[in-house]
Amino acid sequence: MKRHTKIFLGLIIGAAAGVLSNKFLPGTLLLEATQKYFSDPLGKIFLNMLIMMVIPLVFASVSLGVAQIGDLKHLGNIGLRTALYFLLATTLAVIIGLALVNSIRPGDYLPEETKTELLASYSSQAAELKDTAEKTGFGIQILVNVVPRNPVAAIARPNPDMLALIFLALMVGIGITMVKKERVQPLVRVLEGINDVTVAIINIAMKLAPFGVAALIFSVTSRFGYDLLIALGMYVITVLLGFTLHFFGVFSFLVRIFARYNPLRFFRKVETVMLTAFSTSSSNATLPTTITVSQENLGIPAKISGFVLPLGATMNMNGTALFEGVTVLFLAQVFGVDLTLSQQVIVVIMSVVTAVGAAGVPSGAIPLMIIVLGMVGVPAEGIAIILGVDRILDMCRTVLNVTGDITCAAYIARTEGVELKQ
């Protein structure tokens, strides 16, 4: 059986078991014990196994990628094309989201008592998030932090600062191109060694994936409040419709036109990545899989995937941008805030910017979105309304986020004269 089929089976079994336990065993000791002593730890071990490889992999792959591209002008050219592609795909995503939310107007379907209930039951969580958002801020400091004063401190925290890590690796790569080859060869060898060993470990971790994915999905589906999905039905449908349009419309178009590759075949080649993204809800945790699968299945060379994909995992979040646009407008509708055209343009710009700034971790988008809400005069506490369904939407948007990254890597590979594996 192929790896992605096994993972898919794990996903289905985990989801079915979770939904059934949620219906028939809610609040029982058996379910609680299964979650606490079985599915939660198993899921976490799988996640940790992937995440523990992210830092060495990003460091080695970005610095080697830059060193192998070699010529700085060429690197700048690839970087510019990558950035423009990210911008195009993300902007299209937000525009789709805004068009849908303006025509469906899901906010008009939310009954007043559901709104009051949700605001009350998620208020403390919302207040905490608002606090985080205020502490994070969204000023020029974010740009300053890209250049880490102390790289170890930037990395050695629960959510490492990926942009700082990428910047450090970029500089090391550039440094390598500037030093005499025989002097720097040992360092390159070490980085290559780290890269290869990391990939080997990821392949071991992916052997665990069918079980890890089943456990992660079980943990989510057995705890999920399905009533909420119905209460917020129109909103959820708007977001999912947007994701579907972006996935099959925009991605197919980009893959066909920019990467000159059959879109359906492309999606099939990256199934494992999509399944990992769906179950982990994290672009960062999926990154090792994204890099290995795009090299092995699509033949995207390491120097391109190693450079484009870490940047993508951190900066290119199509699903997140679409979700933010829809959510901000949905909440504006719920609170009766009429947004003018120019305010909607601000929502588009800010959704793109905050999707770049959001961390590739579960619910990474939420704190920054709170700031956007404030900017257009929607009460920040309103975020409470959607928190209950965020996990499910997060799983879906992360699939778009990582798939978008690979479409970009495929495009860059094609323009660099690479023949992609069919």
Give me the least distance between CB of 321 and ligand ASP, in Å please: 9
Give me the least distance between CB of 317 and ligand ASP, in Å please: 5
- What residues contact 38, with CB distance under 8 A and at least 6 apart? 215
Give me the least distance between CB of 358 and ligand ASP, in Å please: 5
In the complex with ligand ASP, the residue whose CB is nearer, 69 or 321, is 321
Which of 261, 251, 375, 271 is CA-nearest to residue 322? 251
In the complex with ligand ASP, the residue whose CB is nearer, 31 or 322, is 322
In the complex with ligand ASP, the residue whose CB is nearer, 54 or 64, is 54
- Name residue, tokens 């309103």: 382
In the complex with ligand ASP, the residue whose CB is nearer, 290 or 320, is 320
In the complex with ligand ASP, the residue whose CB is nearer, 60 or 356, is 356
Give me the least distance between CB of 45 and ligand ASP, in Å please: 19
Residue type, 421: K
| Integer Cα distance of 34 and 19 in angstroms | 14
Which of 318, 88, 53 is CA-nearest to residue 204? 53
How many angstroms separate the Cα of 15 from the Cα of each of 10, 77, 126, 220, 269?
8, 44, 27, 8, 23
Token pair for 9 = 């089976």
Give me the least distance between CB of 342 and ligand ASP, in Å please: 26
Sort 268 into a burial class: Cβ within 10 Å, 0-12 / 13-18 / 19+.
exposed
Give me the least distance between CB of 128 and ligand ASP, in Å please: 16
DSSP, res 57? H
C-beta neighbour count of 137 within 10 angstroms: 12
In the complex with ligand ASP, the residue whose CB is nearer, 52 or 174, is 52
In the complex with ligand ASP, the residue whose CB is nearer, 61 or 282, is 282
Give me the least distance between CB of 361 and ligand ASP, in Å please: 6
The site for ligand ASP (CB under 6 A) is made up of 281-283, 317, 320, 358, 360-365, 394, 397-398, 401
SS3 15: helix
Give me the least distance between CB of 368 and ligand ASP, in Å please: 9
In the complex with ligand ASP, the residue whose CB is nearer, 217 or 358, is 358
Kindly give the residue spans of alpha helices, DSSP state H, lying in 122-246: 123-136, 141-145, 151-155, 162-178, 181-207, 209-223, 226-231, 233-244
DSSP, res 139? S
| Integer Cα distance of 167 and 85 in angstroms | 20
